[in-house]
Amino acid sequence: MDLNWSAEDLAFAEEARTFFEAELTPELRAAGALMTSVYADHDLGMEWQAKLHARGWAAPGWRKEHGGTDWTPAQHYLFERERIRAGAPPVSPMGIHMVAHVLQAFGTDEQKDFFLPRILTGEVFFCQGYSEPQAGSDLASLQMGAVADGDDFVLNGSKIWTTHAQEANWMFSLVRTSKGGRPQQGITFLLVDMTTPGVLVRPLVMTSGETVQNQVFFTDVRVPKTNVIGAVDDGWTVAKYLLEFERGHSYAPGLKVRAETLREEAAKAQTPEGALLDDPLFASRLARAMIRIDVLEVLEFKLVSGARDDGSVGALSSMMKIMGTELAQELTELAFRAAGTTGTVYQPHATRPGAEVQNYTPPTDGGQIGEAWEAVAPLRYFNERAGSIYAGSNEIQRNILAKRVLGL
């Protein structure tokens, strides 16, 4: 594996930097820099997606014939690195980075023709209907029923922790179409129009105050059987394919930028004992985190250099998910420490949350205490607690690695 970028790679990175410099408005940069979760403000995120789509860069990971790019794996990595350095917000992952890959791999021609162009433009905006109140990390135990009735399935049950369900007009969901045998059998991957009668979305207020996530209730919701992706009762196969994209995205570029920024802010922070970076415990934790980020980056370089044509990273996506989310948690803990007493002040008005913050009245003068990063620090800390749970808990990921890599 050659860790040096080629001349073509460096030229591409410069092209990306030029694009970001030209297209990122102050509002878009703020939406990226002041995010309190992994999801940007919806309206600004869609504004940014429109700019990317106009350039042909909204979905670089897609197959070329569906609107993707012919970038090399190295260019994909460099694009993400430059995006984060520029402070650009991410596009919502549910459509472009997740269900679109499933559609390209398992969808019918009619499904591809309808959904893929509309995902690119934002006309179709997806949320994910996986977890249920009694089925989270043990996803195969899901029970939301889908009973066949003529040309439709009739859905009853609920989904929970459904991010941006209040913004979405479509959901990709796992439903129980039959019982018996192993829990993974009898599950079907189904696309649901969120405007269908019987769908009710209720917000969940997180510890950060945001209502990014929701519980969605289904009461006699009729969904055409033509909305099944793959085969009826074989949705687990489709779901496993999608989860590789959810877990296996690139973590290192974002973590490196966050760690470097934290080091700069910590260098200016003062404690009663002196400069924060002179605190041996803080300095050693930050140094250890930065070393582990370098290790993760080498792992991602390895995946880049040996990426398969279908873009799947297999079981190594579990390793990336474990390392990426646990490092992110460590950085939020250190940032909270660096923010000091200022970080204990609850001021979401100084940030760009991914959704409405309920039951909060900002100061009438609109001001803030301290710097923007200090206002973001506690909110990111609260949000990042879920990182090692979502997309399959890290304990589950370790079991996957033990089975599929170590053969245990």
Residues that are catalytic: 246
| 151: its two tokens | 């040309």
CA angle, corner 243, sides to 317 and 252, nearest 5? 40
- The dihedral through the CA atoms of 249, 211, 396, 252 has a sign that is positive
Read off φ and ψ for residue 98, nearest 5 degrees.
Answer: -125, -80
Write the single-letter amino acid at 38. Answer: V
DSSP string across 118-170: HHHHTSS-EEEE--BTTBSSSGGG---EEEEETTEEEEEEEEES-TTTTT-SE
Decide if 102 contacts 325 (C-beta within 8 A).
no
Q: Identify the H or E element spanning 200.
A: strand 199-204
| 225: its two tokens | 């059987």
Burial annotation 6-23 (CB, 10 A radius, 16+ → b, else e): eeeeeebbeebeebbeee
Decide if 269 contacts 338 (C-beta within 8 A).
yes
CA 291 to chain centre: 24
